[in-house]
Amino acid sequence: MTEGSFSRYRQVADRLRAAIARGDVQPGQQLPSEDTLAAEYGLHRTTINKAVRLLAAEGLVDMEHGRGSRVREQRPLIHTSASYVTSAGGAERAQWSSEVQRQGFTGTQDVRSVEVETPPAEVAGLLGLDDDEQVVVRRRTMLADGEPIQLADSYYPASLANGTELAEHARMAGGTIAALERLGVRFRRFHERIRVRVPTREEAGLLGLSPGQQVIQYTRVAYDAEDRPVEVTDHVMTADRNVLTYDLPAFL
């Protein structure tokens, strides 16, 4: 008995959810219009809208103004978060495209911008910078099968990154960690923080989020051999399509 719903809009949501789970409506396919559903269920469109919004917040459907609601691709993307750590000896550090390809997606990447700026206070704090110090910011969008699924913004102290490939508007081979190693940086440790929050309007636009959807913000700070922070990377990803995993030994 999946039925334990009270309100009509929840019942409608339950039935639509079940239809999606059964595969009656395939990912990419459009849901019937709200008017159609209203007639079908004998309810007012307002009620239907509330039901569809619920599914949108859950990440099941994608509502687009003027175009209708489509069923989202459900398969999650799994991030082996400490992949850059587990690869011993610095041999082959994990990259976006290969990580994603292994899971059956086509992984691409878009460098949105590379700029020198004054960092947000939080980043400045993590990098241990003074108020007037600047950073190089690399803003990238990671895509899976052409759909934006993650934003990755990396910050480097300008004193370190200026004049290097980090400050150039081009993709970097092997990811940012590998690029830093090419610059002679040796890593000692990483600090990671994961939290969930509401996206900013900009993030919602870049990731194509429906109203009510949340994001996972995954921040990584990399420390060099002298234990000084050399990189802060902020990953913002859709909460429902991304899973993070860790493999840890019992003792470090």
Residue 160 contacts residue 128 (beta carbons within 8 Å) = no
DSSP class of residue 139 equals E
Smallest distance, a second copy to C-beta of residue 76, A = 7
Whole-angstrom distance, CA of residue 191 vs CA of residue 178: 17
Picked from DNA, a second copy, none, the partner binding residue 188 (CB below 5 to 8 A depending on kind) is a second copy
Q: Which of 7, 29, 74, 103 binds DNA (CB under 7 A)?
A: 7
C-beta closer to a second copy: residue 97 or 214: 214
Under the binding rule (CB under 7 A), the answer on residue 40 touching DNA is no
Please count the other Cβ atoms lying within 10 Å of the Cβ belonging to residue 112. Answer: 15
Binders in 204-233 for DNA, by CB under 7 A: 211
Residue pair 40/19 in contact (Cβ under 8 Å)? The answer is no
36 lies in the site for DNA, by CB under 7 A: yes
- Write b or e for each residue in 201-215: b if 16 or more Cβ atoms lie within 10 A of its Cβ, otherwise e: eebbebbebbeebeb
In contact, 9 and 47? CB cutoff 8 Å: yes
Binding residues for a second copy, per CB under 8 A?
A: 4, 57-58, 76, 81-82, 85-86, 88-90, 186-198, 201, 212, 214, 216, 239-240, 242-252
- Smallest CA-to-CA distance from 112 within 83, 85, 90, 143 is with 143
Position 162 contacts DNA (CB under 7 A)? no
Verify binding: residue 33, DNA, rule CB under 7 A: yes
Question: What distance separates the 2 farthest-apart alpha carbons in the chain?
Answer: 68
Applying CB under 7 A, does 63 fall inside the site for DNA? Answer: yes
Is 200 a binder of DNA (CB under 7 A)?
no
Which has the closest alpha carbon to 207: 145, 139, 147?
147
**Binding partner of residue 212 among DNA, a second copy, none, CB under 5 to 8 Å per kind?**
a second copy
| Per CB under 7 A, 43 contacts DNA | yes
Q: Which stretch binds DNA (CB under 7 A): 46-54, 74-82, 179-187, 195-203?
A: 46-54
> By CB under 7 A, is residue 10 in contact with DNA?
yes
17 near DNA (CB under 7 A): no
Q: How far apart are CA 96 and CA 174, in angstroms?
A: 8
146 binds DNA (CB under 7 A): no
Residue given tokens 């923080």 in the structure block:
193
Contacted by 83, from DNA, a second copy, none: CB < 5 to 8 Å by type: none
Q: Is 29 in the site for DNA (CB under 7 A)?
A: no
- What is the residue whose two structure tokens read 């994001």? 215
Q: Report the partner that residue 36 touches, choosing among DNA, a second copy, none (CB closer than 5 to 8 A by kind).
A: DNA
- Report which DSSP code applies to 165: G
